[in-house]
Chains A and B, each alone.
Chain A
Amino acid sequence: MSFGPHLLLAILEGTVAAAVLALTALGLSLVFGVMRVVNVAHGEFYMLGAMVAWWLSRLVPAHPAAGFALALVGAPIAVGAVALATERLVLRRLNYEPEATIVATIGLLFVIQQLALTVFGADAKPVSAPFNFRIVFPWFGYSGYKLFVVAASAVVLLAAWWVLARTRFGLIMRATQYDSETAAAFGIPVDKVYAAVFVTGAALAALAAVLLVPIQQAHYLMGLDPLLMSFIVVIIGGLGSIKGSVIAAIVIGMSDGIISVFFSPTLASILGTLLVALVLVVRPQGLFGVPVR
């Protein structure tokens, strides 16, 4: 393949990787930003979303799009419910203490993973894309659905930004993030805000999974990889900064796509990890993060 088409493929792959990363990192960033809880089980909420999507899509065998639409609504609700239970039964009882919640969510990671193995089994589960459209370039073809994922991801990110910046709920969330004690003094029900944020974070992970599962299949170990990449993105972008996460996702995604097409995927991972180390040394709060007061 000559250089031009090769570069085009690399950019397409990079764009898809960036969109996927931004989407999976969004929930993690939100939860850390507002609650200061590092949710190690975030990837498992993502996996659970994919599993539920698979299960729901099998209920509607008529047309893949019907199953997909059902999953788009059902999976975030189901995973949100699990997250709500987690928040009430575990995080709240630990007083949202950072160290304790890290250990608790590590435990949760294993519990959810093994439950998924027990309930759904170990096979990779294919889910049909809502439509099959192959974009034909003169040199190669590309999945139309992958480009749909990019568009959908942009819509979700814009919606998240709008909610945070332009709505009353967003204002309350930002107030809680800025200073939860003062927010409580002003009558903001901080514990309800925490519950809402944690559920939203999990639902966003599930939504990302529903969009991605037609590309990747549901599998009980699928949560580990996005977890790692999301952490990289969130750390580089600045914990709690959604703008930072999106920009970091684009940088990491594009460089990952381009480097792995032209050189090797291993080199892309090495560079990504190096970048994290560098950011942690030079600017520990991340590119767009605000130092903890």
Chain B
Amino acid sequence: MSSKKGLIVPPASVTRRKALKVLGASAAAAGGFAAGPGFIRYVQAATSEPIRIGFQVHRTGIGASYGRWYERTTTAAIKLINEQGGIGGRPVEIVAEDDGTDPGRGAEVVEKFATQHKVDVAYGTLFSHVVMGSSPRAGELKLPYFVVSEGHHVASGKLNRYTFQPGITDVKSQVKSMAPWIAGNLGKKVTMIFPDFAFGHDHRDYFSAAIKEQGGEVVQLIPIPPTESSFTRYFPDIPANTDVLYHVMVGPAVLTFVKELGEHFGSQHPALFGFIDSLEAVDLASPGLEFLDGSYLWEAYPRYAGPKPTAFDTFYRDKVGVDAMGASVSDPADISTFSHMFGCWETLFVIKKAMEAAGYQGPADRSKLIEATEAMTAFEEGNEHPQGDKTFNGKIHQCFGHQNITKVAGGKAEAVHRTSIEDGLYEPEADYTTQSL
């Protein structure tokens, strides 16, 4: 301690020799510290240079609520990974860059990761248009790019061999697994309200097909421009014969959407089935949301822990700092994006597993990392995968997990149905492994 102190506040009569002595002593102390018990487990690695993961995060722009929680989850997962000895014996470091939830900026961030920060892999993007904007650049730079976006674009084959989605099920699989339950329990004539961009189009295309397979039909499609702030004008388009109103919205205006829906319909309304995307980071007990009482929600991972959470769920909530209601432990008004952010946690553990399987040492081993990731087939439920077990299809770079349906009652949503993984499987449309590395 005294040598450190000497460095910060040098005595008045400091000579060059004295200064060198102090510097040398503190360097020796630092070396001793590194060799101490806290660091010993990194020693077996060939190099103790940290593994650097570039984290493309929506700190600003319309994705900022998601970004905040993606960042918290990532920080918690990296802390745990480092406590457990890092990846292949090396510590892991996150290099976070804000992309402003903007596709152009996203591509720049990927570029910056590869050329300036020299990261090992890039990770963490959520909004589908940012993924679409960034992934081609990652492919050109041959930078492995792990997204947590749930869009179908990875599995569709539209992207490239460097882009993976191993932590969250894609929309096509999600809606496919929902359709039988909706047709069986709520009704067969569905009106869809969805955002008018890639993510909403995934819902439109794959749900329409999935409900048809169940003998139902989509009676009306209502696309909403992403910057819309008032929705009443769209409601006359909802046909009177609608059994189920299927809504999926994103962005800050979702509360308005639900409120106006309530004002428009009152108590006489079709059954409501919504994707929690509409209400991530929003308290279900917010004023105006009473209208949702008795309606159903898709949740990848139910925000409300329920009476019997798994040990893994409890572990995960504890590490990230989320309570049993899905809010921050430090502020109950700070609601998490629970159905998406687990994807960050799980993806980081997949990256760890893949890097260790590939014997990853540095950027020269990126091809090995890609092949090791593609070779994976399943992830077991556990602390690393608290949302549940998953299968992974290396040809389309996409994982498949269980989905949940919850029912809103009194400001929270309780689970009523959990799908099997098979409910959401579809014929693969692509094979990335045929592309060259």
Contact = CB atoms under 8 A, between A and B. Distances in A.
B232 A9 contact: yes
A5 B64 CA distance: 39
B263 A123 contact: no
A117 B254 CA distance: 19
Q: How many of chain A's residues touch chain B, expressed as a range?
A: 20 to 34
A141 B264 contact: yes
A1 B236 contact: yes
Contacts of A128: 287-288
Given A117-B64, A141-B263, A225-B227, A217 B235 contact: no
B215 to A, nearest CB: 27
Interface in A148-185: none
B225 interface: yes
Contact of A140 (B65, B228, B264, B282): B264
B255 A126 contact: yes
Contact of B228 (A143, A219, A257, A265): A265
Contacts of B22: none
Contact of B256 (A123, A217, A260): A217
Contacts of B266: 134, 136, 141
A13 interface: yes
Contacts of B60: 114, 117, 122
Interface string B231-259: 01101100010000000000011111000
A221 B62 contact: yes
Contacts of A142: 232, 263-264
B255 A217 contact: yes
Contact of A9 (B67, B227, B236): B236
A78 B68 CA distance: 28
Interface in A103-149: 114, 117, 121-124, 126, 128, 134, 136, 140-143
A121 B68 CA distance: 9
A266 interface: yes
A215 interface: yes
A225 B229 contact: yes
B252 A124 contact: yes
Nearest to B64: A122
B233 to A, nearest CB: 5
A212 to B, nearest CB: 10
B34 to A, nearest CB: 36
B396 interface: no
Given A9-B232, A122-B64, A143-B260, A219 B265 contact: no
A122 B287 CA distance: 19
A90 interface: no
Interface in A1-57: 1, 5-6, 9-10, 13, 17
Contact of A123 (B65, B230, B236, B264): B65
A64 B286 CA distance: 13
A273 interface: no
B256 A216 contact: yes
A124 B264 CA distance: 22
A123 B283 CA distance: 11
Contact of B282 (A124, A216, A219, A266): A124
A261 interface: yes
A9 B263 CA distance: 12
Contacts of A261: 233, 236
B127 to A, nearest CB: 13
Contacts of B53: none
Nearest to B196: A266
Given A216-B253, A217-B252, A123 B281 contact: yes
Interface string B272-295: 000000000110001110000000
B338 to A, nearest CB: 15
Contact of B232 (A13, A64, A117, A126): A13
B32 to A, nearest CB: 41
Contacts of B287: 64, 126, 128
B70 to A, nearest CB: 12
A134 B266 CA distance: 8
Interface string B111-150: 0000000000000000000000000000000000000000
Nearest to A117: B60
Contacts of B265: 140-141
A257 B233 contact: yes
A32 to B, nearest CB: 25
Contacts of A64: 287
A215 B264 contact: no
Interface in B175-229: 225, 227-229
Interface in A244-272: 257, 260-261, 265-266
Contacts of A140: 235-236, 264-265
B225 A265 contact: yes
Contacts of B61: 221
B72 to A, nearest CB: 13
Given A117-B60, A141-B264, A124 B288 contact: no
Contacts of B233: 9-10, 13, 257, 260-261, 265
A-B pairs with lowest CB-CB distance, top 9: A122-B64, A124-B252, A219-B252, A128-B287, A143-B263, A1-B236, A141-B266, A261-B233, A260-B233
Given A140-B265, A221-B252, 15 more contacts: A1-B240, A6-B236, A9-B232, A9-B233, A9-B236, A122-B67, A126-B286, A134-B263, A141-B263, A141-B266, A142-B263, A143-B263, A215-B256, A225-B229, A260-B233
19 contacts: A6-B236, A117-B60, A117-B64, A122-B68, A123-B252, A123-B281, A124-B253, A124-B254, A134-B266, A140-B236, A140-B264, A140-B265, A141-B265, A142-B232, A215-B230, A215-B256, A217-B253, A217-B255, A257-B233
